[in-house]
Structure 1
Amino acid sequence: MPKITKIVEVANDDDDETDTDTEIEAADTDAAYADGDVTGEDAGIDALDGLRAVARLARLCGRINWFAAVGEPLEPSEIADAEAYVANLGFPDVSVGAVEDWRAAAAAAQAPEWRQDWWDAEEQMRQALLQEALQINPEPDLMVALTHVSTKASEVAHGLAAVSAARGGVADEALIRVAAGAAAQAAYQAALVLAAQAESMAGDAEHPFAVKFRLFEAGRLPLGIVGSTFNLF
């Protein structure tokens, strides 16, 4: 399974594998540009590339083995990714903490010290990316593409979260919904990076949303910042 070690790997993926949803979205988007919904010589080409990358991401979301590594010791590369994510989001002094099992994950998700400023930072970044993406893509096409990605991730992640939690002796439907919702949100955020073509950031720096999605690809469940700790399951 391809990992988004750099978000451009999905943007430039030339995999010939297709599915019906991807073909429909590409056809609808092609028609939008043919009808002149996007102006500018290069605008349609750039946006079409972005939306096709989003469609490929939706297909990838259906193949990810969500939550496959939860409860296992953190790999050094995963710790490095988590540290990069929180630092680039604006929290360089936050440390990474491993969550041991689904019961501990439930406690972390409900912790009263949960950081609102972490959520606010993500939301500000999401809004900025959305505005960038809307400058490039027709709004109806973009909304359809983003919804498709998050729906696909949620559908697959929910079942896998339920299986993983059951193996850990937990049958908390609310927690399972939280896990699936987090996966859907991460997929949506990664799709925005592609749609906004934010992979052109200076140097080799990666967008925090791309790094966060990579943690999910690795089978992890990021649970957010509580106090001075970023909890990673």
Structure 2
Amino acid sequence: MNNDEELEQLERELPVLSCLRRFADGLEEVPWFSHLGEALHPKTRLVADHYLDQLGFPDTDIAILADWDDAAASAETFDWSNPAWEAEELVRSDLTGRALEFLSEEALQLGLSVVADRAGHASKSALLDTAALWDMVDENVHNLSVGGAVQAAYGAGLLLLAAANDPDFDAGGHVFALKFQLFEQGRWPVGVVGSSFNLF
């Protein structure tokens, strides 16, 4: 690819990547981990049910985790090769393929790294404040919860790219939009284990 072609490609990519920057800039405003352990609001339950439907696990029960001990136990025993995790990986792979149809791999990595970095800083800052209120100092659990937040923001970023390139793409009810909404509602969706969706 010569310089003119590279410039043309960059010009095509910049408007799309700007939507990721706007998304990343708003991550400081997300009320990360602000409603952990609380009774489940009806709106949050609807989002969780819809998430499970879209993921392909409609018969899964929502299990509300009461405290950090329950959340830690659930996160530490989570099987990363379980069917729900594999279903999310297939969705992530599909969205990545869609993005690479109109973005270079370098541009995609750059845009998503900005999202991941901002999500990491914003969610960790919020997590430390919340954990201090609970007197929860386990660094491993801190990392697991922040990692979940970063992963959800990354998925939402991929979804934004798919929607930006295809106006007919239904992003609102997408599984990654719904998972991110659970974080936006101050919860930590730890994951599906067996027949339960563990939500803190």
Q: TM-score, normalised by structure 2?
A: 0.88
176-185 or 100-109: which moved more? 100-109
Matched with 1:148 is 114
SS at match of 1:62: helix
Matched-pair contact (CA < 8 Å) for 1:193–1:199: no
Matched with 2:66 is 100
CA-based RMSD of the aligned residues comes to 2.3
Gaps of 5+ in 2: none
1:65 and 2:65 correspond: no
1:36 and 2:8 correspond: yes
1:37 alignment partner AA: Q
Matched with 1:224 is 191
SS at match of 1:37: helix
Matched-pair contact (CA < 8 Å) for 2:115–2:153: yes
Matches within 5 A, 1:7-86: 35-37=7-9, 44=12, 48-86=14-52
Q: TM-score, normalised by structure 1?
A: 0.77
Matched with 2:136 is 170
1:201 and 2:169 correspond: yes
Alpha carbons of 1:225 and 1:56: their partners in 2 closer, same or farther (altered >3 Å)? same
96-105 or 181-190: which moved more? 96-105
> 1:111: Cα distance to partner?
3.1
Q: Number of residue pairs matched?
A: 195
Q: Comparing both chains, which one has the higher relative contact order based on Cα–Cα distances under 8 Å and sequence gaps of 6 or more?
A: 2
Alpha carbons of 1:52 and 1:161: their partners in 2 closer, same or farther (altered >3 Å)? same
Alpha carbons of 1:72 and 1:115: their partners in 2 closer, same or farther (altered >3 Å)? farther
Matched-pair contact (CA < 8 Å) for 1:136–1:196: no
2:59 alignment partner AA: D
Alpha carbons of 1:33 and 1:229: their partners in 2 closer, same or farther (altered >3 Å)? farther
The Cα offsets for residues 95-153 of structure 1, whole Å up to 9 and x where unpaired, read as 11111111111111123677711111111110110010010222212211101101111
Matched-pair contact (CA < 8 Å) for 1:199–1:206: no
